[in-house]
Structure 1
Amino acid sequence: MSATGSERSVRWWIAVAIVISLAAALGWNGLVREATGQERVMTAGGMLLGACAALYAWAVMLARFTPRTRLVVLVGVPLAAALGSWLIEVRGVSGDLVPLLRWRLASDPEASLEPPAAPGPLSAPKPRAEASPWLDFPRFLGPDGDAVVRGVRLARDWDASPPRLVWRRAIGPGWSGFAVRGSAAITQEQRETEELVVCYDLTTGAVRWSHADRARFDSVIGGIGPRATPTVHGGRVLTVGGTGILNCLDLSTGERLWSHSVITENDGSMNTWGTSCSPLVVDGRVVVSTGGSRGRSLVAYDLESGELAWSGGDDGAGYSSPKLLELAGARQIVAFNASSVAAHDPADGRVLWSYPWSERNPNVAQPVSVADDELVLSSGYGVGAERLRILRDAAGAFSVERVWRSRALKAKFANFALREGHLYGIDDGILTCVEIEGGRRGWKGGRYGHGQLLLVDDLLLVTAEDGSLVLVEAVPDEHRELARVDALGQKTWNSPALAAPYLLLRNDVEAVCFELVLEEGSGGRE
């Protein structure tokens, strides 16, 4: 049977031109264009939507389909789109803003979680002479807060000595990491309307105790739950929730000793992606970034009483955590804020120096000290890194000068670490090595996404964004991946914790503990 005239005259060439134009544009965007991964994803999304709209308009108005076919397209496409939006929801995004989808009718992992077990007190922390054989990891990024674990050497051959799974368990949403003291492994998570601090047994994963606050931070892009990592100091646990609740809890029982709503009390404003600073304990005080106005950007509370000790600064809060450094011969608390990096006197909170920084996008990665009077800052979103030198004159006044600026390291929210004159970090989703001397890139390789890392002697433990655990040599000549384990299996933004030999990993769905094989004579306590 011969085709009708109208069917023979369908203008397929228009559709072909649209598809070819889309393919060419996507190729330019992905392979040629100088842009961040996020910018490429957003541009590609716009291109796809534009092409779909063009094809829809072509089918309805320009293709010369039969009236019946045009009616089917005119009505069917919107109905199919509506059905798809009813069946599928965006449950989050990747670090490059790629939507992560799930069926709306699928069970919600958070809703299916059982409540934590009734609090059961831990034994009192053991004195140092009787302490546990593994190392503590008492706060965000480790004992020194610099993503470096010292005194430990990991076995390099994971084929011969693979990580041993100790336990795995479901966990509530949140981007908090673990803090470890003795057998207590403490993290923060969300359970429906309650924000929890939960103490798990390091070697079994059993719940020891939990503390709940009625609070919830929820963002499609940023995710659900608390962002900060607990800090363990002596017999106390300090936590900051996603909405700015600062708690001081008893390490043995989880009992609340004191609490503050630091955003509300200090005239701060909630960050778009939630309050993210992990508490810093200095000289018997708990220091947190609030972004408050009128001299309350950074505040300190007495560790014992919870009373306000001092405040200082006026910049809004970033997504970084305050950090104690010694620069130009003086102890300083460095805060990477919304539009600056500033140093405060630990004694009274006064601002010692300030250096302007990009405020277009979040500042997240921790500053890294690279010399007695120098530090490196880095931000993602195309900003890059700078090496700063802190100067002090005869009168004691501080000033700042830039040593170099480089786009070789754009740390979006992955922290970076220093080893032997080189920085190792994730540059827009790809692991990179950068020379300290001039900010030049040594190498770039390993598409690990927006994950996190720890430096352990001359090895990097990388938690990739897809949940893989990767072992990489920290050497300046080339990228050398030694081993890889599928640890979590889905989006992982949380920082790892190594209480050697135990490695704790988590994301917004589950937590896992591995025992790593150490080289003989490495790890543990003296």
Structure 2
Amino acid sequence: MNSTDHSTPTPTRELRLWPAILLIVLMVVARVFPKLLGLRDPRVLTVSFLGPALCGMLLLLGWWLASSRAAWKDRIVGVLGVAGLAVIAGFLSDRSMLPLGYMMYAIPWGMAAFGIGVVGASLVAIGKPVWIGLLASLIAFGYWDAVRSDGVNGDFRDARSWRWEPTAEERFMSELATRAKKPGELATSLEKVAEVAEAEWPGFRGVHRDNAILSAEIDIDWEVRPPRELWRHAIGPAWSSFAVAGNRLFTQEQRGEMEAVTCYDADTGDELWALDYPSRFWEAIAGAGPRGTPTWHNGHLFTLGAEGILQCIAANTGAQIWQRDLREDASRKPPMWGFSASPLVVDQVVLVHAGGDGDRGVLAYDMETGDLAWSAPSGDHTYSSPHLVELLGRSYVLMLCNDGLCALDPTDGSVAWKHAWGMEGYRVVQPLVFGESRILLGTGMEEGTRCINIDINGDQLDTTEVWTERSIKPNYNDYVAHEGYLYGFDHNIFACIDLETGVRQWKKGRYGNGQVLLLPDANQLLVMTEQGELIVLRTNPEKLEVLARHPVLNGKTWNHHVLVGNRVYARNAEEMAAYELPMVVR
């Protein structure tokens, strides 16, 4: 007698998919939403950077492991599989992707791909969802292992290349190997260099560090007489500008594992000399290379490298005279984006910001010997440079840092007065003095700009806040003042504000995070956009008035450009170029 089995099979439970779909949508929102709104608050940026990774963890653990309804074997396989792929991807990632790119992109993409694969396989009933998810995760992690980061622009939009393609620096180093001069050529170059005695543009932002060029006017009929390219050459990465003395250009750059101070012929762009030394600074946002600009003074160059190497160099030969190390003198490591101050020469001392504890904030060195002359307290975090100004008949060195503005007596470093304005983020731009007693303090992110007034109170000077406005928020884009108005960058858009009130007059011109020069006698502005385009504007508080424009450089351009005579010298992290501009003869 046959028995009949009346048992029924256990029904297969459908996967709960909606939490996965919700978390994937949240990952996209966390990444894209702050950028669409132009939000720059550090807390918001943290959500944009790390929010997708957190959602990815919730996707893997909160949904798949805890509440997906998948078989427990599949849950364990999925979690261990994605975790294993993440670990392997971390080991195989290009150095430029670690740790920021790995956390921002590889981890979220790998986890999101797993969720998308599982959801997709479940909806169309193709294959086993856990294996489809792992395959999708493998592809995602594999993509991020195949690329490298080329840094980000001023809006934190990243640039990527395949990791097997040579970098701009590698291409430059290959070219550099073919540039070796013969002894006779080097001697001829040095003879040319030795003739120079004056510096038309002695360092960062010009004579007074204000980006102003007097007695100059650009002929704006560029359709008839466009700027003429004189030369163009590859250069090592750095965010340095130029110092210009006669027919020489001085700058700084990274050359492999060596930092270099370099001198170029202003007429041809040919290298005259290079002083290199073992040092390499790199970080994921801005990449490799020095940040400061050489300072020329009486035939000497003073330079500060990104890892803190301060040097005095003979400008005619490139021979080192003395060297100091800020890491030792200030007992600190380089800040997040490297030591960035351009040295300031006042009388017989050379000043730099070091940001050490106690009185090791600003360091002053004897110009001839390199001995420490004095030191003064300052904030520990800034990418601004010491700034010499005249206020109410007295000289001060201003230092804008994370804790506010400090005014030092240049003779001994004693603190004359301070204005407290602390912040968690960074400050980069120079303080701007206008009128007899007013100073602008610029801050990027969402802090904005503050105007303060300096008042005489007996033998003391006091500061009072005039206004603080978010109408202009400069990141690393110094602004200029002209006839009662300020012209500069509000993040990536050019703007004009009333200096008396801080009220914005207009905001227009998406030039990225570029730089601007002022030609006050001609009521002109010479803008270099982040994309490397040169634009002439009229100083017009009523509207943005574009007079002429011409492409100059290729690639991301954060460096300050220079105008000397009728020549513009410009560079970025990949190339440098010189252009002759048509000028109005007065």
TM-score normalised by the chain length of structure 2: 0.80
Contact 1:10 1:65 (C-alpha < 8 Å) held by counterparts? no
Q: Which residue, out of 298, 302, 306, partners 1:234?
A: 298
In the alignment, which of 148, 151, 158 is matched to residue 89 of structure 1?
148
Does residue 325 of structure 2 align to residue 256 of structure 1? no
* Residues 310-361 of structure 1: per-residue CA shift (max 9 Å, x gap): 1111421410000101113210000112322101001101111111223311
> Does 1:489 pair with 2:554?
yes
Residue in structure 1 matching 2:118, options 56, 60, 64: 60
Cα separation, 2, equivalents of 1:149 and 1:218: 33
Partner of 1:410: 473
CA contact (8 A) 1:287 1:301 kept: yes
Which among 464, 487, 493 is matched to residue 424 of structure 1?
Answer: 487
Other structure's SS at 1:82 match? helix
2-structure distance, mates of 1:328, 1:497: 30
Deviations 1:442-500 (A, max 9, x none): 11011111111111232222111122222222211101222322222211111111112
Change (3 A) 1:507 1:37: farther
Q: CA deviation at 1:299?
A: 1.6
User: Partner amino acid for 2:115?
Assistant: A
Identity %: 32
Provide the secondary structure at the position in 2 that maps to 1:150: coil
Contact preservation (8 Å) 2:389, 2:433: yes
C-alpha deviation, 1:407, in angstroms: 0.7
Residue 170 of structure 2 is matched in structure 1 by 111
Contact 2:331–2:356, Cα closer than 8 Å, also in 1: yes
- Measured in 2, the distance between the counterparts of 1:485 and 1:456 equals 18
Shift of the 300–212 alpha-carbon distance from structure 1 to 2, 3 Å rule, reads: same
Counterpart contact for 1:238–1:248, Cα < 8 Å: yes
Count of matched residue positions in the alignment of Structure 1 and Structure 2: 506
| Pairing 1:121–2:180 present | no
Tell me the equivalent position of 1:397.
460
Separation (CA, whole Å) in 1 of partners of 2:496 and 2:476 = 17
Q: RMSD of the alignment, in Å? A: 2.8
1:224 aligned to 283, 288, 311, which one?
288
Q: Relative to 1, partners in 2 of residues 1:240 and 1:122: Cα closer, same or farther, differing over 3 Å?
A: farther
Deviation at 1:73, TM superposition (A): 2.8
Structure 1 or 2, whichever has the larger Rg, is 2
Q: Report the Cα distance in structure 2 between the residues aligned to 1:84 and 1:41, rounded to whole angstroms.
A: 24
In structure 2, give the amino acid aligned to 1:110: E
Match for 1:181 among 227, 245, 252? 245
Q: Which amino acid aligns with 1:352?
A: A
Aligned to 1:476: 541
Structure 2 counterpart of 1:200: 264
Highest RCO, 1 vs 2 (Cα 8 Å, sep ≥ 6)? 1
Residues 24-423 of structure 1: pairs in structure 2 closer than 5 A: 29=34, 33=37, 35-36=39-40, 56-57=114-115, 59-61=117-119, 63-68=122-127, 70=129, 73-112=132-171, 113=173, 114-115=176-177, 117=180, 120-123=189-192, 126=195, 136-394=200-458, 396-423=459-486
Name the residue aligned to 1:455: 518
Q: Return the letter of the residue paired with 1:480.
A: E
Match of 1:121, SS state, is helix
Structure 1: gaps (5+ residues): 1-8, 522-526
Q: Quick check: 1:18–1:55 contact (8 Å CA) kept in 2? A: no
Q: Using the alignment, how far apart are the partners of 1:312 and 1:64 within structure 2?
A: 67
1:30-82 CA-partner distances (Å, limit 9, x unpaired): 66x57239887766666777596567425415843325163563132122112
Instruction: State which drifts further: 55-64 or 380-389.
Output: 55-64
- Once the two structures are TM-superposed, the CA of residue 243 in structure 1 deviates from its matched residue by 0.7
**Pair 437,83 (structure 1): closer, same or farther in 2 beyond 3 Å:** same
CA distance in 2, matches of 1:54, 1:104: 23
* Secondary structure of the structure 1 residue equivalent to 2:236: coil
Q: Distance in 2 between matches of 1:259 and 1:27?
A: 46
CA separation of 1:171 and 1:60: change in aligned 2, threshold 3 A = same
Q: Is the CA contact (8 Å cut-off) linking 2:243 and 2:293 kept in structure 1?
A: yes
> What do residues 211-265 of structure 1 show as CA deviations (whole Å, max 9, x unaligned)?
0111111101131110001111121111110011111111110111111112321
Equivalent pair of 1:15/1:55 in contact (CA under 8 Å): no
Whether the aligned pair in 1 keeps the contact of 2:239 and 2:291 (CA below 8 Å) is yes
Give the SS at the match of 2:466: strand
- Structure 2 spans left out of the alignment, 5+ residues: 1-13, 57-108
What letter corresponds to residue 473 of structure 2 in structure 1?
Answer: K
Secondary structure at the aligned position of 2:168 is classed as: coil
Aligned AA (1:514): Y
Contact kept in structure 2, 1:42 and 1:97, CA below 8 Å: no
In terms of mean alpha carbon deviation, does 477-486 or 163-172 score higher? 477-486
Moved more, 200-209 or 296-305: 296-305
Aligned partner of residue 123 in structure 2, secondary structure = coil
Match status 1:444 vs 2:504: no
For residues 510 and 329 of structure 1, do their structure 2 counterparts lie closer, same or farther at Cα, with a shift above 3 Å needed? Answer: same
Deviations 1:264-322 (A, max 9, x none): 21224421100000011111211111112231211211212222221111421410000
Amino acid at match of 1:76: L
Give the distance between the partners of 1:508 and 1:246, measured in 2 at CA.
21
* Alpha-carbon contact 1:179-1:229 (below 8 Å) kept: yes
In the aligned structure 2, how far is the partner of 1:462 from the partner of 1:373?
Answer: 28
TM-score of the superposed pair, with normalisation by structure 1: 0.89
Residues 185-235 of structure 1 deviation map (CA, whole Å, 9 limit, x = unaligned): 010000011000000000100000110111111101131110001111121
Write the deviation string for residues 352-407 of structure 1: whole angstroms up to 9, x where unpaired: 1111223311110000001211110110010001111112222x222211111111
Q: Secondary structure at the match of 1:144?
A: coil
Q: Is the 8 A contact 1:358 1:383 kept in 2?
A: no
Distance 2:325 2:28 in 1: 51
2:261 and 2:371 map into 1 onto residues whose CA distance is 22
CA contact (8 A) 1:443 1:478 kept: yes
Distance in 2 between the 1:13 and 1:268 partners?
Answer: 50
Residues 434/487 of structure 1: CA separation in 2 closer, same or farther (3 Å cut): same
